[in-house]
């Protein structure tokens, strides 16, 4: 009985020691490449001109949770809903970084028009030059929707080439792969057209929070997790078999002696 208890305790120890690894694998499978929660400022999402600010009040995702506050008025310089980032952590080679999508929360706090969210990426800082691609599908957010989770896949099947922001301009000559491997800027915009990387006019407050670039699924992590669980199961089985043999072995010589030892009664 004591050996049996030791086997169980040993297996439990293995599981306990492996728990941090299991939690780590689960964590990386749901992690982001970079995230802006606006707790330390705008994290580069400030239109490049300081038009928008971060604020903290009861209107956030939770009470006193900071967020990016936009107050477009339909005319320059606050013509529409547009925030963009050209920092190194948010740009570069999206292919080598494993970027598959961008995720963020948004709220239409205005009193009138809906928002038409799209994502734009380009190999220049401004769509007046270079090549830009824009989300083919948009996400509509009404002024009574509250905070809404936005998720946009970033690939050649979900984005279309935009025209130049210059009057009578034409699309850039680069391919999607050219842009995806050399992103100079990424934009969150409200735009009804999939062929424009600039924002349309909008009047009314808008809140944005928790912007994150999402990596491809960590398949390797899940394979490692499955292998570890299988190894634990096999280890427990081996220990159980060893325990059974240890219980049977002491009795085998006794059985054998009954047939090999000379009996004086015969």
The per-residue pLDDT for range 202-223, each reduced to its tens digit, is 999 999 999 999 998 753 345 4
Between residues 266 and 2, the one the model is more confident about: 2
Q: Which of 189, 111, 124 has the alpha carbon at shortest distance from 150?
A: 189
Q: What CA–CA distance (Å, rounded) separates 28 from 221?
A: 8
Distance CA 158, CA 156 (A): 6
- The band of 164, judged by pLDDT with boundaries at 50, 70 and 90, is confident
Token pair recorded at residue 67: 């967020």
Q: Are 106 and 117 in contact (CB under 8 A)?
A: yes
- Which of 173-177, 204-208, 259-263 is least confident? 259-263
Note the pLDDT of residue 112: 86
* Structure confidence by residue, pLDDT tens digits, 70-123: 999 999 999 999 999 999 999 999 999 999 999 999 999 998 899 999 999 999
Q: What's the CA angle centered on 129, arms 77 and 134, to 5 degrees? A: 80
Residue 161 has pLDDT above 50, yes or no: yes
CB 194 within 8 A of CB 118: yes
Q: What are phi and psi of 53, to 5 degrees?
A: -135, 165
Rounded Cα gap, residues 135 and 23, in angstroms: 34
| Contact indicator for 83, 187 with CB cutoff of 8 Å | yes
- Can you give the pLDDT at residue 25? 45
According to the model, what pLDDT value does residue 212 have? 98
């Amino acid at each position: 009985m004591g050996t049996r208890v030791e086997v169980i305790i040993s297996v439990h120890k293995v599981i306990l020691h492996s728990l941090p690894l299991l939690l780590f694998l689960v964590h990386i499978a749901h992690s982001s490449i970079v995230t802006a929660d606006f707790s330390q400022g705008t994290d580069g999402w400030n239109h490049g001109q300081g038009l928008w600010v971060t604020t903290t009040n009861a209107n956030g995702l939770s009470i006193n949770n900071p967020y990016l506050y936009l107050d477009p008025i339909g005319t320059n310089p606050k013509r529409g809903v547009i925030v963009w980032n050209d920092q190194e952590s948010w740009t570069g080679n999206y292919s080598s970084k494993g970027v598959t999508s961008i995720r963020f929360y948004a709220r239409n706090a205005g009193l009138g028009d809906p928002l038409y969210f799209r994502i734009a990426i380009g190999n220049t800082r401004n769509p007046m030059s270079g090549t830009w691609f824009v989300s083919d599908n948009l996400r509509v957010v009404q002024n009574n929707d509250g905070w809404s989770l936005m998720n946009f896949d970033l690939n050649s099947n979900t984005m279309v080439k935009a025209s130049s922001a210059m009057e009578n301009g034409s699309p850039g000559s680069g391919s999607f792969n050219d842009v995806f491997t050399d992103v100079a800027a990424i934009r969150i915009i409200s735009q009804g057209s999939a062929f424009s990387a600039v924002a349309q006019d909008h009047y009314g407050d808008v809140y944005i929070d928790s912007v994150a670039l999402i990596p491809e699924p960590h398949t390797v992590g899940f394979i490692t997790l499955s292998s570890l669980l299988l190894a634990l199961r096999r280890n427990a089985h081996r220990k159980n078999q060893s325990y059974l043999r240890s219980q049977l072995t002491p009795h085998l010589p006794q059985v054998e002696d009954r047939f090999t030892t000379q009996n004086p009664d015969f």
